[in-house]
Amino acid sequence: MSKEMNGNGKRLRSEIWFNDMTEPGETAVYLERYNNYGITRKELQSGRPIIGIAQTGSDLTPCNRIHVSLASRVKDGIREAGGFPFEFPVHPLQESCRRPTAALDRNLAYLGLVEILCGYPLDGVVLMTGCDKTTPALLMAAATVNLPAIVLSGGPMIDSYFKGKLAGSGMALWEARRMLAAGEIDGEELIDMVCASAPSAGHCNTMGTALSMNSLAEALGMSLPGCAAIPAPYGERAKMAFETGKRIVEMVREDLTPDKILTRKAFENAIVVNSAIGGSTNCPPHLIAIARHIGVPLTVQDWETVGHDIPLLANIQPAGQYLGEGFHRAGGVPAIIGELMQAGKIHTDALTVTGKTVGENYCNARSLDTNIIRPYCQPLKEKAGFLVVTGNLFDSALVKTSVISEDFRRRFLSTPGSEDCFISRVVVFNGPEDYRRRINDPSLEIDETSMLVIRGAGAVAYPGSAEVVNMTPPDYLVKKGTRMLPCMGDGRQSGTSDSPSILNASPEAAAGGNLAILRTGDRVKVDLRNRRVDVLLSDEEIAERRRQLAQQEIQHDSPWQELYRAHVGQLESGACLEFAVKYRNLKSIVPRHSH
């Protein structure tokens, strides 16, 4: 019987299960049940690479449901290249429907996939990604186990419209909420407007976290060139599935593992690309988590150090005008990387899943529509990356500069002599329920200079960290034309939001952060020039308020919530399960027999 070798001259991992004739009684156990639906012993003992297909699509996960059909084309590609496919489900992660938040289950899906990749006879894996948390969960697991792995994105929806105008997914919701507050539409029209923003199979068509993270998967070198942005319904997407299936078999034979691709240079490339596309503020925790699991040093400060000075090139909502379908037609991630390469902003020697470098893959890529993907020398905005701020309220928080509008800059960041600096009276809410209940209370005295603050929304408190920091002003202000106020919180916000918030504050209030001592009426100084956010209180007053804080009682609603809260870290360090980051290269471990 065949004993195929990988690039290191070692037997394939699957043969330890299926082809160990020194212990035929054990080998028989592993073989026999696959026969019951028609797979033959000859197939499993042929020495062909066994390829897992980590399937994230289901009825519960509509944004990834395209993978249910794409998986067959992946299988075709695997068989074409001489491999044997096994498709299996991944714990569902539906961003907009999972309560309290899909972020809670990113780490659960990660754990599940790690166990599958470790405990089953797989030589490589296709990671079928799409909606927000599926992409980091699968990449985190691939990093931990270090089997040859490749990402197949599901792709964005086609462009969506409402009353003849582009209405991007996610963004339509935030705008509809403002229109409802202003009395411009009613509740039925709000729902119609939001539903119109989801016109086809696929994930968000804005540059939300889904399209951002799949773009960064390609920028990291973990997808075939051009994979990230092909709309889900396009025929090109199925062709990409076929090519991805073929390539993973070749990667197994080459022993091309994630640790050879996910290097420090790859992560820096991803940070630069994120700035150029106006990517989501959810990307830093996700990339930091992937880096920690592969063992590459990466901190939240790197997002400013490496990425802040990069200009915005992608004219895509929420930072721009167009949507994902236009992004793909303009050249997608290859065009972005090609423009950045011309400016010398990309590590061209970083290795990718093609077996070639970034420079080799993208040397001829350019924008095909310079209105949608701008040349480096003609950007939408200069210095469009994240700012990392600190102060006496938290150790770190993020500010997405690419969505700071001219109106917001005029109202808050343009005082002569104090540019990029303002002081606001804060109004504090304890979680989104408190916000929704009290935002229109006139006794709060919210005006057009106020800052809205939300706490209790972090990884521990929520749990999982909630996308709630982008708060709409009270109805009476929206009706007068104030459609945004400064917002701050220890939670996250959707990557589809155009709110220039101070978010991902770490440590969160529930983990010792000073947002816990903040009171409505306090004055907070935001100084973006010096990267500071401070409550204007003396150290003595802060210490006294901390002394008076009551011990917070947390109610767990499920066994997983209790386990998660006991082990999760903060957003600035990736919100990982802290015990898990020490596990590396688990493919090298041969598990004990099952019988």
Residue with the bigger pLDDT between 524 and 9: it is 524
Residue with the bigger pLDDT between 6 and 159: it is 159
pLDDT at 1 over 50: no
| Mean per-residue pLDDT, 158-176 | 92
Confidence band of 10 (pLDDT split at 50, 70, 90): confident
- The b-or-e profile of 514-550 (16+ CB within 10 A means b, else e) is bbbbbebebebbbbbeebebbbebeeeebeebeeeee
Q: What pLDDT does 11 receive?
A: 87
Q: What pLDDT does 4 receive?
A: 55
Identify any residues that bridge with 5 across adjacent strands, giving them in sequence order.
11
Confidence band of 6 (pLDDT split at 50, 70, 90): low
Query: From CA 546, how far away is CA 503, in angstroms rounded?
Result: 22
Helices marked H in 318-474 — which ranges? Answer: 324-329, 332-342, 358-362, 406-412, 432-438
- Dmax over CA atoms of the chain, in Å, equals 81
Q: What pLDDT does 69 receive?
A: 97
Q: For residue 453, which of 441, 468, 440, 465 has the smallest C-alpha distance?
A: 468
pLDDT at 282 over 60: yes
Confidence band of 29 (pLDDT split at 50, 70, 90): very high
Question: What's this model's pTM, rounded to 2 decimal places?
Answer: 0.97
Q: Of all residues in the chain, what percent carry a pLDDT higher than 90?
A: 95
Q: What pLDDT does 582 receive?
A: 98
Query: From CA 594, how far away is CA 44, in angstroms rounded?
Result: 18
| Burial (CB count <10 Å: 0-12, 13-18, 19+), residue 370 | middle
Q: How far is CA 209 from the centre of its chain?
A: 5
Among the residue ranges 21-25, 69-73, 143-147, 440-444, the one predicted with the least confidence is: 21-25
| Mean per-residue pLDDT, 151-178 | 94
Q: What angle do CA 577, 583, 589 make, to 5 degrees?
A: 140
The dihedrals phi and psi of 322, each to the nearest 5 degrees, come to -100, -175
Among the residue ranges 5-19, 97-111, 308-322, 369-383, the one predicted with the least confidence is: 5-19
Q: Token pair of 106, please? A: 């990113």
What mean pLDDT value characterizes the chain?
96
Q: What pLDDT does 246 receive?
A: 98
Query: From CA 74, how far away is CA 56, in angstroms rounded?
Result: 14
Confidence band of 147 (pLDDT split at 50, 70, 90): very high
231-244, pLDDT tens digit by residue?
999 999 999 999 99
Confidence band of 25 (pLDDT split at 50, 70, 90): very high
126 and 117 Cβ atoms separated by less than 8 Å:
no
| Mean per-residue pLDDT, 259-265 | 98
Confidence band of 584 (pLDDT split at 50, 70, 90): very high
Query: From CA 119, how far away is CA 99, in angstroms rounded?
Result: 30
212-223, pLDDT tens digit by residue?
999 999 999 999
Q: What pLDDT does 62 receive?
A: 95
Identify any residues that bridge with 126 across adjacent strands, giving them in sequence order.
53, 150
518-561, pLDDT tens digit by residue?
999 999 999 999 999 999 999 999 999 999 998 888 999 999 99
| Mean per-residue pLDDT, 566-576 | 98
Q: What pLDDT does 9 receive?
A: 63
